[in-house]
Structure 1
Amino acid sequence: MAIHSRLSELDEASMSDAQHEVLSEILSGPRGNLDGPFLAWIHSPQLANHAQRLGAFCRYATGLELRLSELAILVTAVWWKSQAEWQIHAPIAEKAGLSSQTIEALHLEQTPDFIKADEQLIYRFTRALYETRRVDDVLYAEAVAMFGESVVVELVGVLGYYALVAMTLNTFAVRRDSETALPFAEPTPTA
């Protein structure tokens, strides 16, 4: 599916050596495409290089099950109203085992009726961090008890990384070329 944005289009002939290097690394890695924020980040190859490595870890190598990291990503997409982030990750989340009811509730900005305690905890942790910019002692202790300290650190990394992704996608109006309506209403421009 094609991706487009408000950025100037890059063609391989006009790309710098640094851009070619990072493009090659991205295309040969687990993603295999220049999807999502990479379309923007490739304009700054040093940022792209560091961000794609962090992203590969956050997406493919944390101690979180894919179902749980995708839940955290979807909560982030809703928080930031990130069109492409939702378009890319909602199908991945469902394939990873997140129920369609949970995904729809998130999309409607409703608290899902979680059956699994780990999903409910990821949701509560993520919402608390975004809403209050803190995680209280009780919630922190619950998360460490369920996932372990290193996975809680990784969860915060996933949230920070995907907030960066959402800001990038929103700033540069990155969209999937799709016949369906955008997942979120676009805000009215401010003066």
Structure 2
Amino acid sequence: MHADLPDGRGTYSLTASLRRQVPYSALSTGVESVWTFRSGTTPEEQPLPLMAVRYSPEGLDDSNRAEPGSVTRLPLRIERNPGSTKAKATSVRLKMSELYSHSRIAVETGLPDGVVAGLVAGQRPPELTREESVAHDVAARLNAGAPLPGALYRSAVSAFGESGTAELVFLIAQYAAISMVLNAYDVPLPPDAE
């Protein structure tokens, strides 16, 4: 990305956001990164000293699963914009929105109360559509630490395609990793949690 800025010193914000809307998931619909920086007139172009926090869980198997009862470390690293000056990182915060309000979100997106109650109870409600049932079964099987049977994998590919199935598996793994971090640090429920 290239941008011409006005002469003189100023404070600027750069926002990068990604939004998605898919028929098989109302979760993980957006990601946003915001960088605020100061800049002044320079004799030549310079890369911005932008940073991004990356994580890579340790102790997971080839299917991104942790051994039940094991400790999974989540090392964080700061990735810097190539060619930029070394900006100082003063703090790192992990923020998640609506993490403990899935029931409320499910109802708001149109799932009937009976379906939500069944999901909360760990059951597959019979009212789910074919695609919702496949997504439920994939998530339940992976969260149980078991490999996907061939028939279930083929059902997922039939319902969502190869890339949709890969995205579903990634979302399940990402949610599991975040849940492990919250459990490791015994993060309390937010005040508005139901």
TM-score (norm 2): 0.49
Quick check: which one's strand share is greater?
2
Name the larger-Rg structure: 2
TM-score (norm 1): 0.49
